[in-house]
Structure 1
Amino acid sequence: MADTDATTEAAALAREKAEQASLPYTWTQTLPDLTLTFPIPASLKARDLSISLTKTTISAGIKGQTPIVSGQFPHPIHVDDSTWTITTSPDNSSKTVEILLDKVNKQEWWAHVVTTAPKIDVTKIVPDNSKLSDLDGETRGLVEKMMYDQRQKEQGLPTSDEQKKMEILKKFQEQHPEMDFSNAKIQ
């Protein structure tokens, strides 16, 4: 049975690669953004292109020709934070258009650039490992707290929240020595 699953998965992966290779553009993504690239003749300039982005659609290609990519996005983008550039190869023999799309939802993988294109299996995406130093201060603090609490639980020790509650109870006990706390429960 495992061989059949592996064979089916390999066939699906091969089909997906062939479908993506047949597209007139290539694309990659991270959680925050998606980058779409396509080649153009070296003689063309920005004025020779027609690139239109809205929150939910794209149309990009050479003026007067059928767009290289056109259609509805599967999810919205931030138009004002999305950009496009032309890069020239080192030997000046070719140019590439690169369109950077800034995703609205930065926690979501896209299965395709436009809804009419073949999908990829987003469950197979393996994101690059990020480092704590890549995170903003608030997120980093939250992740560090979660990691600390996980280590404490594994060792059978109180989490940071439980430690705070115990400290509050201890201070209250010191302020009220006349009270009996022998049956106090921390929740």
Structure 2
Amino acid sequence: MSSTADDDVNLSKEEREERDKADLEREREEQNALPYTWKQQLGEVDIEVSVPKGTRGKDLNIVIQKKKLSIGLKGQEPIMSGELCKDIKIDESTWTLGTSHIPVLSDSTHLATEDQQLVLVHLEKQNKQQWWENVLTHHPKIDTKKIVPENSKLSDLDGETRGMVEKMMFDNQQKQLGKPTSEEMKKMEAIQKFQAAHPELDFSKAKIS
């Protein structure tokens, strides 16, 4: 169960770290139990699905729609099928047969080996400024507040988007530490400046909202 802001206030730093560690382990187990592996950047999602060696394109039944994805072998139940977390750009989304290019943890049950074949699916997000909680809506969610984009990818973003992502990362880190966000810091600074200019006023009971 996700924690609330009130929970964070009542927890010590050590308790928050212990809770976050347990949440991360649960999240990892849930993701490893899925019949596929996936990763994302702000603008795209890449998925890998293992299929029997020797599988050809004509053996597959793959449906990629704006809000739906289905992957499987013809004549069999789909390996994965359902409603996508968010809308995608169909014309820019593709699939192919190949070998793994997604690095996965050594304890993952879906670690690709040389004798495995993979369906590689690339989805272009419609909204390129939003993290996905999952691929299919009925599958376990990840905590998007704890996503840290790759530095190399951050440098590829335009100035405005990069600034937004860095601000989001900073605010999430501040919240985890129980410290004020960038907006709250700006308000505090404004109040301090106003207070310095008007020492006759009492700000002892002022609240930042």
Same fold (TM over 0.5): yes
Identity of aligned residues (%): 43
C-alpha separation between the residues in 2 aligned to 1:141 and 1:120?
26
1:7 and 2:7 aligned: no
- Distance apart, 1:25 and its partner CA: 0.1
Equivalent residue pairs, number: 140
| Runs of 4 or more above 4 Å deviation | 130-133, 139-143
Q: Which residue of 1 aligns with 2:35?
A: 24
Match of 1:127 among 145, 149, 164: 149
What does residue 204 of structure 2 align with? none
CA distance in 1, matches of 2:14, 2:147: 22
**Could you list the runs of 5+ residues in structure 1 that have no partner in the other structure?**
144-187
Give the corresponding residue for 1:114.
Answer: 136
Counterpart CA distance in 1 for 2:85 and 2:97 is 25
1:118 counterpart letter in structure 2 = P
The amino acid of 2:151's aligned partner reads N
1:53 & 1:67 partners in 2: Cα distance?
Answer: 13
The aligned counterpart of 1:70 is 81
| Aligned-pair CA distance for 1:65 | 1.4
Q: Secondary structure of 1:53's partner?
A: strand
Q: In the alignment, which residue of structure 2 is the partner of 1:45?
A: 56
Task: Give the TM-score normalised by structure 1.
Answer: 0.68
1:100 to 122, 135, 140: 122
Residue matched to 1:155? none
Q: Is the 8 A contact 2:129 2:161 kept in 1?
A: no
8 Å CA contact retained: 1:49, 1:62: yes
- Sort the Cα spacing of 1:63 and 1:10 in 2 relative to 1 into closer, same or farther, 3 A: same
CA deviations on 1:139-185 (whole Å, 9 max, x unpaired) are: 45998xxxxxxxxxxxxxxxxxxxxxxxxxxxxxxxxxxxxxxxxxx
SS in 2 for 1:17: helix
- Kept in 1: contact 2:90–2:124 (CA 8 A): yes
Structure whose residues are more often strand by fraction: 1
Any stretches of 5+ residues in structure 2 without a counterpart?
1-11, 101-112, 163-209
For residue 121 of structure 2, what is the amino acid of its counterpart?
I
- Larger radius of gyration, structure 1 or 2? 1
Q: 1:116 & 1:9 partners in 2: Cα distance?
A: 23
For normalisation by structure 2, the TM-score amounts to: 0.61
